[in-house]
Amino acid sequence: MFKFLRMFRVNKSISIDLGTANILIYDKQKKKIVLNEPSVVARDKKTGKVIAVGKEAREMLGKTPASIEAIKPLQDGVIADIESTKEMLSYFIHKIYGNSLFKPEVMICVPIQVSSIERKALFDAVRGAKKTYIIEEGRAAIIGSGINISQPEGNMVVDIGGGSTDIAILSLDEIIASKSLIIAGNKFDEDIVKYVKRKNNTLIGERTAEKIKKELGTAIPEANPEKMDIKGRDLETGIPNTVEINANEIYEAIEDSLYQIVNSAKEVLEKCPPELAADILDNGIVMTGGGSLIKNLIEMMEKEIGIKVYLAENPLDSVVLGGGIAFDNKKLLKTLQMREN
């Protein structure tokens, strides 16, 4: 599609949060996020040609004719379609920087338990970079939250993204204990789709489910739950219909998934050395990622785990910002997997 990078005499460092739901790119020299687009590609089935990427492709989800497929190249925090991921990255880089490019340093943020095959695919996707580093999202998220992980002190992060939740305890720039699970924002959406189908005999799309999650999602039942009307298709008649749903029903839909995240956080804490556990008791747990914005989730985590929980200042951006900050930590860079071209 586009050649990823071309030579240009400018030192540039960019951080890429390769999320299941969205891709973010942070330009360290400009000190800002220069791209935030959905991780979606639309492709012609016959020719294989990419016809839309990002926001334009996302608008096509569930609405394409038989000749076109709109896909998410990343599923559950892993690369499901390597070629589409490469083309998507190339498209976005070209969109931001055009052809007058450089040979930058690139920091790619990935789920903690990404496989060696996926790592190789990512290195190949940015082959034109001067240096490419891969950093775990948990590590990037806590750095992007403003916490100094270079000290001999324990800190803990729970990063609930779109495809995966990364939980990690860190000290002296390293991950001491961690867990990654494929229960996150997209799973909440799936839970809502299944609940509405079972409870209201109505089929809704993933975009509708996401809207419901953002507007009604709660981690604690409420005395006076908010309500909203949603549109879908009646499974008996096949005719479009409208049903009313409330926040407590959405809690019921996502409750099991929320508690799996809570229980996983407890498991990671159980692996923690006693001295670091004492630090976490003092420092608390940092929550990041879009899933951390579920109403009442901070309170629910505190109640279930018994440790103070904080929401990061920029929960949606902490991973990509942390990737950018990581370039300044030479000691940390030595601990990361790197390829030099």
Give the Cα separation of 252 and 195 in Å (integer).
8
The percentage of residues in the chain with a pLDDT greater than 70, rounded to a whole number, is 96
pLDDT of residue 255: 98
Which domains are assigned to the chain?
13-39+73-141+320-340 (3.30.420.40), 148-183+258-313 (3.30.420.40), 186-253 (3.90.640.10)
Report pLDDT digits (tens) over 261-303: 999 999 999 999 999 999 999 999 999 999 999 999 999 999 9
Helices (H) and strands (E) counted in the chain, each on its own, are: 11, 19
- Give the model confidence (pLDDT) of 180-223 as tens digits: 999 999 999 999 999 999 999 999 998 899 999 999 999 999 99
pLDDT at 81: 84
pTM exceeding the 0.85 threshold for the entire prediction: yes
C-alpha to C-alpha distances, 279 to 29, 83, 87, 144, 310, nearest whole angstrom: 34, 43, 43, 19, 15
Q: Cα–Cα distance between 71 and 52 in angstroms, integer?
A: 11
Query: What is the pLDDT tens value at each position of the chain, 341 positions in all?
Result: 444 444 444 578 999 998 888 999 999 999 999 999 999 999 888 888 889 999 998 888 777 788 888 888 888 777 888 888 888 988 888 888 876 556 789 999 988 878 888 888 888 878 778 899 999 999 999 999 999 999 999 999 999 999 999 999 999 999 999 999 999 999 999 999 999 999 999 999 988 999 999 999 999 999 999 999 999 999 999 999 999 999 999 999 999 999 999 999 999 999 999 999 999 999 999 999 999 999 999 999 999 999 999 999 999 999 999 999 999 999 999 999 999 87
CA atoms within 13 A on the CB side of 60: 23
Query: Which residues on neighbouring strands pair with residue 121, listed in sequence order?
Result: none
First-to-last CA distance in the chain?
21
- The tokens of 29 are what? 């020299």
User: At 84, is the secondary structure helix, strand, or coil?
Assistant: helix
Closest CA to 269 of 153, 155, 138: 155
